[in-house]
A and B are shown apart, each in its own frame.
Chain A
């Protein structure tokens, strides 16, 4: 029988508030303690060990120390990268720790193209020698860019691997995702290899044990998370990791809660209240709440009937909570609106008008370009071309990939212009332009106030 621990989405180094950052690290230490006492054979970290590619050194030092404790106890650690902890264009700390031998990255592969066939991605299997378990990993990328790797996976090769075997990944699954996450940011279950004994997932913060191709598919969720919503979810449901036993081709996951400080959530609906009344109501609620040594989450939302959001004495309220012994305070007020909304509208038309005039002047100039660019149609085509060509890199996209995408889009425009396809160009669908890819459904994460 083999036993391993499955963790994911640790996001170590997250939070600006040093107290929260420390709490997160403390939970990782606690998890390591539990893993050591459980005498597991190995540990799987299914992506997002760190919150960013270069975390601050204090965090790295502590994480390295914990990994070293595991190593000293002869516990192997296997890892894949996630959408946060790895950058394709910059150095990443996860690579440094792998290079130092603190864990083994279990993602390796190469594309092969057989004559006239589709490109195939062959993933390399890794074997945990003492137990004979085979691990195959697929890292996550920002905005689920890894989906295109999945699309080319050589599934039969993976399905033929002898068991016991574990597939490690960092992606949401299309059929299991809640309403609100774009389908393009998920991977359909049909792209996963069949026949694995356990599917060790990451990326999705909603903890859960599911089924995939007849075996357990598990998202452990974070130990604390990295934003308001994660913290709030942690107030309702214990956080931790899974201990998995594989016995005779049957994997049984068991949740292990990791102890940490309590979290309390205070919600104030400010809809229709004056700023003053909202502040009063909030203060009253806070005063009636046990806050000592707890993480206090404050969520204020709604449209104020009068006054500004800044009329609510945020700093004073937080100060009072700290004085009453709150361990950390995290206020989300991004859904709170003042009535007096001063909106300055800067006409976008201005810059686009200038653009058009410059182009018209140039294209009409002494050095006439290709016929496609003549006249009004030419100006319009040139402007259409600017859009893909000036597009920013998508989050997590490598420079070369971005170039490919731009050239492809521009090429498509030119081809349809040449073919005289009347009307507007087909709407380009992008993978999404969020700052970070959120593993949550729907609305944006709350703002952090100090």
Chain B
């Protein structure tokens, strides 16, 4: 959807001017605020070039302080007179002598040709001295063109003002294959943002997305959710241990799990790993049942010690949520079972490869079980896509991305065994596979991986160490933005991406309102004829 903005590209009128450039250096330009105006941190300002009508510069406010013509002693005296004697003091034209100064950085140079063509580039020059500044207009940002596969993130934001006419979107093919990071403290709107992002991918088959949903908050089992999208019936698949009507049950047959699937997910000692492989060797896809139900003698025949078996059993029972009873494997939540569930994992892979979005409700699963499901699917997709690439068919396939909450669980460096998600973060791009990593603690993600997450949608964060980790790996220089990030309110975000020309401040819409609007325009459904 192209932004509907007015085509107003006229230079600033006197009335619009709110500040003027008075000094500084590249990256830290000093401006003086006009009396009566109120410039806020994060505000977007524009300096039009009076000598070149098509050219203007977009700037952002990073710091605010006072300036005055008087020395400090004088100012203190003036204040004393006002406070103690209730006199106005003897300032002549006080607004001329004391004022607010702001430090701004230049974000973008915009150039418009006669035919309305516009180009933008990174600023490399300083605007002239005493240049007037005005607030940004929606029409300034028509250089933010809509990409071929827009993933809508939010509206442009200047400070705390939303500019609803400018929709900020990044191309989904680019964005998903180059990985996304959504860092923020709890409650700042990570999940809301994900829902907004997913909403614009529904019904579009250029991308398949697997969302592991430990809070069961995306589908909208109760209340609004992605299920309310008009294309959800075709485009969205929801798996849950307790599915709502029409959705398949999340059921996975134990036969579908191989020992290598557990790598980096269920930590094992060397002896346990060997025992798993020995069982696999002898029982093939019945190895888990054999492990859980087997008798002492069978294991000793295979040279597996009782202690190893005991420990391995405990680990897997805990991870998979199963126990045994009268020679049967009993599943706590019917997810990992010995009956049915043969096709679930391959169905998920197929849905993704058909460009569908798959949400898996993992709210009742252990961490390991959730990651196990994710990693089996991711591993399968990865292998398939390697094959497609070798066969020259990769371009025809949708890009696929895996959305993971608390991403440091799988990307957290450390001494754990490598897992498929680390592989995807490092080399998934070659195969058009990506990650969307959601986290409160990106400082736990190795720098090398952080640098690979090429789009960062940064929400509020009051932890300095986290901001440091985000800023030091961002695609744009955000060194001056630490305070801005700390001060972001719920839903306010900064999009820093190799696919954006500058770090774009946005206001993420409230998902529930987005959906409520959509539902107003829903045509009634026509029942099919019943043939009996």
Q: Which B residues, 518 to 532, have Cβ-Cβ distances below 8 Å to chain A?
A: 524-532
What are the interface flags for A111-142 relative to B under an 8 Å C-beta threshold, 1 for contact and 0 otherwise? 10100101101000000000000000001010
Choice from A113, A180, A398 contacting B527 with Cβ under 8 Å = A113
A56 within 8 Å of B (CB atoms) = no
Q: Which A residues, 419 to 436, have Cβ-Cβ distances below 8 Å to chain B?
A: 422-423, 426-427, 429
Secondary structure type dominating chain A contacts: mixed
Known A121-B530, A210-B339; contact A183-B245, beta-carbon cutoff 8 A: no
Secondary structure type dominating chain B contacts: loop
Known A151-B246, A175-B344; contact A427-B205, beta-carbon cutoff 8 A: yes
Known A183-B248, A190-B246, A190-B248; contact A148-B339, beta-carbon cutoff 8 A: no
- The CA-CA distance from A369 to B189 in the complex, in Å, is 50
Q: Tell whether, in the assembled complex, residue B532 and residue A108 are in contact, meaning their CB atoms are under 8 Å apart.
A: yes
Q: Tell whether, in the assembled complex, residue A190 and residue B243 are in contact, meaning their CB atoms are under 8 Å apart.
A: yes
Which B residues are in CB contact (< 8 Å) with A110? 530
Which A residues are in CB contact (< 8 Å) with B531? 88, 139, 141, 398
Known A119-B526, A148-B528, A427-B205; contact A179-B246, beta-carbon cutoff 8 A: no
Q: Tell whether, in the assembled complex, residue B249 and residue A175 are in contact, meaning their CB atoms are under 8 Å apart.
A: yes
- The CA-CA distance from A173 to B339 in the complex, in Å, is 13
Q: How large is the interface on B (under 10, 10 to 19, 20 to 34, 35 or more residues)?
A: 20 to 34
- The CA-CA distance from A171 to B481 in the complex, in Å, is 59
Q: Tell whether, in the assembled complex, residue A118 and residue B525 are in contact, meaning their CB atoms are under 8 Å apart.
A: yes
Q: Tell whether, in the assembled complex, residue B248 and residue A210 are in contact, meaning their CB atoms are under 8 Å apart.
A: no
Which A residues are in CB contact (< 8 Å) with B346? 179
Known A178-B342, A210-B340; contact A188-B249, beta-carbon cutoff 8 A: yes
- The CA-CA distance from A189 to B239 in the complex, in Å, is 12
Q: Which A residues, 85 to 114, have Cβ-Cβ distances below 8 Å to chain B?
A: 88, 105, 107-111, 113
- The CA-CA distance from A189 to B251 in the complex, in Å, is 11
Known A109-B532, A183-B347; contact A175-B341, beta-carbon cutoff 8 A: yes
Which B residues are in CB contact (< 8 Å) with A438? none
Q: Which B residues, 246 to 270, have Cβ-Cβ distances below 8 Å to chain A?
A: 246-249, 251
Which A residues are in CB contact (< 8 Å) with B532? 81, 105, 107-109, 139
Q: Tell whether, in the assembled complex, residue B530 and residue A422 are in contact, meaning their CB atoms are under 8 Å apart.
A: no
- The CA-CA distance from A141 to B529 in the complex, in Å, is 13
- The CA-CA distance from A108 to B531 in the complex, in Å, is 9
* Cβ-closest chain A residue relative to B149: A423
Q: Tell whether, in the assembled complex, residue B530 and residue A111 are in contact, meaning their CB atoms are under 8 Å apart.
A: yes
Known A119-B526, A121-B530, A148-B528; contact A183-B343, beta-carbon cutoff 8 A: yes
* Cβ-closest chain B residue relative to A110: B530
Which B residues are in CB contact (< 8 Å) with A177? 342-343
* Cβ-closest chain A residue relative to B337: A175
Q: Tell whether, in the assembled complex, residue A190 and residue B247 are in contact, meaning their CB atoms are under 8 Å apart.
A: yes
A176 within 8 Å of B (CB atoms) = yes
Q: Tell whether, in the assembled complex, residue A152 and residue B527 are in contact, meaning their CB atoms are under 8 Å apart.
A: yes
Choice from A118, A179, A401, A423 contacting B342 with Cβ under 8 Å = A179
- The CA-CA distance from A429 to B243 in the complex, in Å, is 24
Q: Tell whether, in the assembled complex, residue A190 and residue B525 are in contact, meaning their CB atoms are under 8 Å apart.
A: no
B83 within 8 Å of A (CB atoms) = no
B114 within 8 Å of A (CB atoms) = no
Q: Tell whether, in the assembled complex, residue A188 and residue B248 are in contact, meaning their CB atoms are under 8 Å apart.
A: yes
- The CA-CA distance from A188 to B247 in the complex, in Å, is 6
B148 within 8 Å of A (CB atoms) = yes
Q: Which B residues, 321 to 354, have Cβ-Cβ distances below 8 Å to chain A?
A: 339-344, 346-347, 350, 354
- The CA-CA distance from A191 to B245 in the complex, in Å, is 5
- The CA-CA distance from A306 to B525 in the complex, in Å, is 60
Q: Tell whether, in the assembled complex, residue B148 and residue A423 are in contact, meaning their CB atoms are under 8 Å apart.
A: yes
Can you spell out 21 A-B residue pairs with CB atoms less than 8 angstroms apart? A81-B532, A109-B532, A111-B528, A113-B525, A119-B525, A119-B526, A149-B528, A152-B528, A175-B248, A175-B251, A176-B339, A178-B342, A180-B343, A189-B243, A190-B246, A190-B248, A190-B249, A211-B339, A400-B529, A401-B529, A426-B204
Other than the given A175-B344, A177-B343, 16 more pairs (CB < 8 A) read A109-B532, A111-B528, A149-B528, A151-B245, A175-B341, A178-B342, A179-B342, A179-B346, A183-B350, A190-B249, A210-B340, A398-B529, A401-B528, A426-B204, A426-B205, A427-B205
